[in-house]
Structure 1
Amino acid sequence: MGDLDLRKLRYFVAVAEQLHFGRAAERLFIAQPVLSRQIRALEQELGVALFERDRRGTELTAAGEQLLTDARRLLDSAQAVQRRAVRAARGTGSLTVGFMPGLIVTAPVRALAARHPGLDIELVRTTWDDQIAVLHDGRVDIGFVRPPIDPTGLRVRELYTEPRVVLVSTGHRLAGKQAVEIADLADDVLLQSVEIVPEWRSVAGGSEQPPVPAYRSVEEKLEHVAAGRGIAFLPLSVATFYTRPDVTYIPVSDIADGQVSLAWAADRHGPLIDEFAALAAE
């Protein structure tokens, strides 16, 4: 078996994510016959079928599912290698720090800058969708993250916890309450993944929840809360940072506090990362 071709892997990931050769070809800006040939060539090189194709559509095989998981990580690593090489070529020290909404990271950033006056420190705001991806692909050297996360390939250091609250519209039946229990919210629609609020499973009682829309930001989620379309659980720091007159938050007495952690790629070693991690933990 020869070395894997990163270009073919990118083509495969596009098809695997779209499950449609035509849409994947459009996304890659190549002709569909070319894409089909590249996927067949990859299957021949690996000696396995990656897709099952029939009149109903295209589905991943078990081998395809496994390759998709591994290919994403491999492509992220390849991008990280390129970014680090470019930074090294610049000849100047730099550190890129990621942070989730509601988190204030000024203190450790200032402390590191004071110790290294010539250091270029960049800040990148992340989201639930990319807070880990930016670590794997090299866009961020070290990041403040909010679990749940997949720790594979990462070093993770817990920093502190903070209360989580539920956000409701000001017209909600519970608005104005000093505190609620999660059972009080059983009749509401949860506007986020149950993975983020595992306590919700006890409220849902095993019933199937409606699909959660793909919100790209906290602001989008709050628009839906304000419109009365559902509720959302957020860390207290996020709720207070995004204060608005048509949304209110209520403490929830029986859910666990949210964790804030520091994470960086396990294969990244360097004094700047170690130093910043120590400053963030102070």
Structure 2
Amino acid sequence: MSRLETRELAYFLAVAEELHFGRAAQRLGMAQPPLSRAIRQLERRIGVLLLLRENRRVTLTEAGRVLAAEAAVVLEAASAAVRRTQRAGQRDSRLVVAMKPGGDGDLLPAVLAAYPAEPGAAEVEVVLCDVAERSRLLRDGTADIAFLHSPYEDFTGLDTEPLLTEQAVVVLPRTHRLAEHPHLRLADLAGEPTARWQGRPGQDGSGPEVRDSAQLMQLIAIGRAVAVVPESVRTQLRSDLACVPVLDAAPVTLVLAWPDHSRSPALASFVRTAASIAARRRPHSGALPQGVPSPPGTALAEP
């Protein structure tokens, strides 16, 4: 079988997402008959049925669901390749770093100060974005590297460098009944409206969905949410909020992540700089209360 073209994958993905040939054709800016012919030709080439067409209703077969997922990955990678190529050809080369506000564990100022002295250093552009946007910007080629948090992210296709592992704390209104406790356990938070991050599936919690840290802190301040977050949030805490350690919450590891095929000297220098600064701070950060085991996985890897 000859290789599939990105055009064919784009056609199929539009139909798979719309589950309607007319809407898919409109989205693609083409007439419906050629789109239908293209999908049937694609099915013949692959040798499996991708769509069930019954009474003007379109559904995906199991094979169709697999191809839809794979097509999304391929098309995203193709778009990312174009963006990275265009950026590489620009006269003024830059290293674009994506992070959520306050999501650097207080490392970035020291990294930016030390990085220009490194071999191959480039001008750094910092892009502040929502939680869900960081990995998207990284995968679509808009950003070169991002500060992410484990275990909450999908690191498929990415290389990573662990920087700091932090104890989890719960952020509460300062007037909350639990705010004066020296520490808590997750069971103590039962029934509390735990906030959920927008675009992050599989979260527990009955609280509101939030886009960014500013929105989260405002909702906590007015008593509409609580949140379990890394301990470094203390440095940005409003005066009307309090942090309490949560002894049995999973620790959170701040990592740098970048596409696993990247061979950029500027990126490698940035990772080395950040790892070096994090290593100097690690003995004084993320200290756990007595009786709580040290988190695994804090060893540095080579970039």
Q: TM-score, normalised by structure 2?
A: 0.72
2:189 is matched with 185
Q: Contact 2:84/2:142 (CA < 8 Å) preserved in 1?
A: no
Instruction: Give the aligned residue type for 2:261.
Output: D
Instruction: Give the aligned residue type for 1:9.
Output: L
Instruction: Give the aligned residue type for 1:261.
Output: V
1:254 is matched with 248
Superposition map of 1:1-282 within 5 A: 1-17=1-17, 38-52=38-52, 59-102=59-102, 103=104, 104=106, 105-115=108-118, 119-148=122-151, 149-170=153-174, 172-192=176-196, 215-238=210-233, 240-241=235-236, 243=238, 245=240, 247-282=241-276
Instruction: Give the aligned residue type for 1:50.
Output: L
Q: Secondary structure at the match of 1:168?
A: strand
Cα shift at 1:267 = 0.8
Deviations 1:43-100 (A, max 9, x none): 3443333344557965543223322332232122212221122123223332111223
Question: 5+ unaligned residues in a row in structure 2: which ranges?
Answer: 277-303
* RMSD, aligned α-carbons: 3.6
Cα shift at 1:146 = 0.8
1:32 and 1:169 map into 2 onto residues whose CA distance is: 56
Instruction: Give the aligned residue type for 2:247.
Output: S
Instruction: Give the aligned residue type for 2:256.
Output: L
1:46 and 1:253 map into 2 onto residues whose CA distance is: 53
Deviations 1:227-269 (A, max 9, x none): 5444321222335425263x54322122132100111111111
Of 133-142 and 224-233, the range deviating more from structure 2:
224-233
Bigger radius of gyration: 2
2:180 and 2:26 map into 1 onto residues whose CA distance is: 50
1:171 and 1:243 map into 2 onto residues whose CA distance is: 13
Question: 5+ unaligned residues in a row in structure 1: which ranges?
Answer: 202-208
1:204 is matched with none
* Identity fraction in percent: 37
Instruction: Give the aligned residue type for 1:273.
Output: L
Of 78-87 and 123-132, the range deviating more from structure 2:
123-132
- Number of equivalenced pairs: 271
